[in-house]
Amino acid sequence: MLNRAKAENIQNWIEKINTYNSTPEFGTTRVLFTEPEIAAREYVKDEMRKLGLAVREDSIGNIFGTLVGNNPELAPVWTGSHIDTVLNAGMFDGMAGVVGGMEALRLIKESGVNFDRSIEVIVYTSEEPTRFGLCCLGSRAMAGHLTLEDTKKLEDKDGKTLESVLKELGYNLNKFEDIPVKKGEVFAAVELHVEQNNKLEKKGLPVGIVKTICAPTNFTVEVTGCQSHAGGTSMEDRRDAYAASCEIALILEDLALKCSSEYNTATVGRVEVIPNAVNVIPGKVRFSIDIRDCEFETKVELIEELKKEIRKIEDKRGVQVKLINENNDIPMKCDATILNILRNSCEDKGIPYDVMISGAYHDSMFVGEFTPVAMVFVPSKNGISHSPEEWTDFKDIALGVDVLAKSLLELANKKEL
């Protein structure tokens, strides 16, 4: 029988990780392989060792903390998440799943209950696209979608490549090809994460069980018009790159609002106006597009529709629009058997729950390509995330850990799903 997860353990770990932060004056920023993120990695590895876990890292910095089972030759059960953040983030996105996984393994170890399969808590490298513009680098590499060659092309804002950073940090790139995980090498994976939406809070529910993880398609859009004088250029003579960009953004929003899938979002989050001067008509604008959908087909349809509308805007406004695709990821349907195990864990403990879609993507989106996955959500206050206002009560995370620990233990004793 497992004891209850301790909210104070979870709080201590999260608050300590949060001290590794490059913007303490405004939220939390822990960008991949910067000083605070490296320090946070070392702290988490130390805490894993204190729990009695065997700790290792692969060549892209995925960290594995292993609680060895009675039959360690069997495929292990995984849990885990990420410790890197977006700029000026909160302290729960990712951390809840890493710390929650550590607390779950502590409970299982403390209980002395027998289990066959080893259980591993993973810190996946760079779930956020913050430094290199591409998300889920560690889990993407595990799924075989990021090669050593790709790391030579991923550059940060200073022109440093991921490959050069990995080399500088002493990662053995000769073993990069050992990162991909084959089907069957992992038995199952369950990630705990804050919901990053307000559905659980609105329904007054403490736990969510995720049935589908939406996947992102990201573009950089370059609009080229004609830079000219803000006063001397008559309205009918302009080729205003910013006005054209705004029209594209509004059409994108309208297409997302009308999308037929169960969950779809579209966001323009980053805009660069050139020359960005008060009395100059912008000649060039570069902006990001982030589209999420729980269905790949409706995401493709939306993008095709958007491209048609962009062609019309080019003709009407005399601008050129370039769409540079960064990634086009596939939504992940979670495993029915694991969903039932999570449901039963909630019901056995009298914990009310809802089954839901995750609008945010997670490492489980890629992990699900080589092993069955599911996720446990805990409520986000006011649905806010990717913000210093992000908050989840530690006792809510502890309840999610109770469900997680029970489910991991059941999976660790299963012969097959």
Q: List contacts with Mn ion (CB under 5 A).
A: 93-94
Which residue is at the shortest CB distance from ligand HGY?
360
Residue 98 binding ligand HGY, by CB under 6 A: no
Q: What's the closest the beta carbon of residue 218 comes to Mn ion, in angstroms?
A: 14
Give yes or no for a contact between 265 and 298, defined as CB atoms under 8 angstroms apart: no
| 145 belongs to an annotated ligand binding site | no
Residues 112-141 that bind ligand HGY (CB under 6 A): 127-128, 135
Phi, psi of 12 (to 5 degrees): -60, -45
| 82 belongs to an annotated ligand binding site | yes
Give yes or no for a contact between 335 and 372, defined as CB atoms under 8 angstroms apart: yes
Q: Which amino acid is at 235?
A: M
Strand, coil or helix: 30: coil
Q: Where are the beta strands (DSSP E) in 27-102?
A: 54-57, 63-67, 77-81
Give yes or no for a contact between 89 and 386, defined as CB atoms under 8 angstroms apart: yes
Compare residues 225 and 400 and give the one whose CB is closer to ligand HGY.
400
| 58 belongs to an annotated ligand binding site | no
| 362 belongs to an annotated ligand binding site | no
| 254 belongs to an annotated ligand binding site | no
Q: Give the integer Cα–Cα distance in Å for 292 and 214.
A: 6
Residue 191 binding ligand HGY, by CB under 6 A: no
Q: Binds 36, which of Mn ion, ligand HGY, none (CB < 5 to 8 A, cut-off by type)?
A: none
DSSP class of 285: E
Q: Binds 187, which of ligand HGY, Mn ion, none (CB < 5 to 8 A, cut-off by type)?
A: none
Q: Binds 361, which of Mn ion, ligand HGY, none (CB < 5 to 8 A, cut-off by type)?
A: ligand HGY
Give Cα 307 to chain centroid, integer Å: 27
Q: Read out DSSP for 139-188?
A: HHHHTT---HHHHHH-B-TTS-BHHHHHHHTT--GGGGGG----TTSS-E
Residue 360 binding ligand HGY, by CB under 6 A: yes
Quick note: the x/- pattern for ligand HGY over 44-83, rule CB under 6 A, is ----------------------------------------
Question: Residues annotated as binding site?
Answer: 82, 93, 128, 193, 386
Question: Residues annotated as binding site for Zn(2+)?
Answer: 82, 93, 128, 193, 386
